[in-house]
């Protein structure tokens, strides 16, 4: 299953509900394009809901890092929500878990941007 | 435990990466590894296949990727060979070092080493061969005949 993203706004925060796989090729490109479009529209508070992401490879991890640094360079914030165990474990072993701001509950995550 | 071996050659495409991952998933499951181990083995194979297709062969349609899966009562051994210029072992970064932590690439070999029991990389001027070994730990069951 390739990656799909749907977008919604909650209290000034853009939530990207992601599902499928973030891998080399289409999955990484879909994420990159969505984040770029949000930044172009000035939407710099971004919450990536990864609750339905069932697989991510090293390219996908790299894409998350790129999204994080790109948003930060433009004065915004990108946070992660609802990590599956697989994604959580990958971020742990790559030492990225402490780099990202990871949230477990949507309302608290939205509130944390303000 | 039925010994089985599967070897085939594919083009340097993303389809080859998917094929390698799916084949690894099936063979590892047939060998009796649990779901978490199957996922780790399949991811290691995927990362090695990405290296072969992308970094080794550079998507060159003239260059092929050869995959070999071999399973016996002791080990699952997967060998992936490309026809690139040979991986420079001195250029493999440590993705955990602070200066590399926020880089967008360079985690593939690290993940492979994290997930497999043994990793042997043999670069040469005619390509790179990476051999991945996972010990069966005595929990394997009779496998099914493998097919590409």
Q: Which of residues 63-102 of B touch A (CB under 8 A)?
A: 95-96, 101-102
Confidence at residue B135, expressed as pLDDT on a 0 to 100 scale: 95
Kindly list the averaged pLDDT for each block of 10 residues, start to end, along chain B of length 148.
82 94 95 94 97 95 97 94 92 93 95 97 95 79 41
Answer yes or no: is B148 within a domain: no
Chain B contact set for A61 (CB, 8 A): 107
Domains along the sequence of chain A with CATH: 4-111 (3.30.750.24)
Confidence at residue B146, expressed as pLDDT on a 0 to 100 scale: 41
Q: Does B49 touch chain A (CB under 8 A)?
A: no
pTM to 2 decimal places? 0.90
Residues of chain A with pLDDT under 50: none
Number of domains into which chain B is organized: 1
Give the CATH number of the domain where residue B111 resides: 3.30.565.10
SS3 per-residue string spanning B35-100: HHHHHHHHHHHHHHHHHHHHHHCCCCCCCEEEEEEEECCCEEEEEEECCCCCCCHHHCCCCCCCCC
Q: Under an 8 A CB cutoff, do B102 and A68 touch? A: yes
Answer yes or no: is B141 within a domain: no
Q: Given A24, A63, A95, which is nearest B17 (Cβ)?
A: A24
| Alpha-carbon span B50 to A58, nearest angstrom | 10
Confidence at residue A1, expressed as pLDDT on a 0 to 100 scale: 61
**Which structural domain, as residue segments, surrounds residue B59?**
4-135
Answer yes or no: is B16 within a domain: yes
What is the strand order of the sheet A45-56 is part of?
Answer: A4-10, A13-22, A45-56, A77-81, A102-103
Q: Under an 8 A CB cutoff, do A94 and B105 touch? A: no
Chain A contact set for B95 (CB, 8 A): 94
Rg (CA), chain A: 13
The DSSP code for A39 is: H
Cβ B132 vs Cβ B115: under 8 Å: no
Answer yes or no: is B142 within a domain: no
Confidence at residue B140, expressed as pLDDT on a 0 to 100 scale: 42
Answer yes or no: is B101 within a domain: yes
Confidence at residue B138, expressed as pLDDT on a 0 to 100 scale: 52
| Alpha-carbon span B145 to B27, nearest angstrom | 9
């Amino acid at each position: 299953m390739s990656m799909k993203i749907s977008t919604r706004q909650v209290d000034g925060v853009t939530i990207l509900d992601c599902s499928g796989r973030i891998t080399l090729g289409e999955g990484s490109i879909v994420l990159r394009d969505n984040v770029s479009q949000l930044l172009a529209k000035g939407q710099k508070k971004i919450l990536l809901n990864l609750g339905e992401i069932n697989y991510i490879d090293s390219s996908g991890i790299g894409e998350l890092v790129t999204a994080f640094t790109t948003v930060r360079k433009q004065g915004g914030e990108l946070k992660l929500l609802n990590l599956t165990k697989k994604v959580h474990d990958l971020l742990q072993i790559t030492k990225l878990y402490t780099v990202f701001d990871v949230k477990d509950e949507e309302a608290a995550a939205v509130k944390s941007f303000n | 435990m039925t010994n089985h071996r599967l070897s085939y050659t594919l083009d340097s495409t993303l389809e080859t990466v998917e094929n390698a991952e799916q084949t690894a998933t099936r063979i590892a499951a047939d060998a009796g590894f649990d779901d978490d181990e199957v996922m780790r083995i399949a991811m290691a194979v995927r990362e090695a296949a990405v290296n072969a297709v992308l970094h080794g062969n550079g998507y060159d349609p003239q260059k092929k990727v050869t995959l070999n899966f071999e399973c016996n009562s002791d080990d699952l051994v997967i060998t992936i060979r490309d026809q690139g210029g040979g991986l420079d072992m001195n250029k493999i970064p440590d993705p955990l070092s602070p200066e590399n932590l926020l880089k967008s690439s360079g985690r593939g070999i690290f993940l492979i080493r994290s997930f497999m029991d043994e990793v042997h990389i043999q670069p040469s001027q005619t390509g790179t061969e990476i051999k991945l070994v996972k010990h069966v730990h005595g929990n394997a069951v009779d496998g099914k005949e493998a097919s590409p």
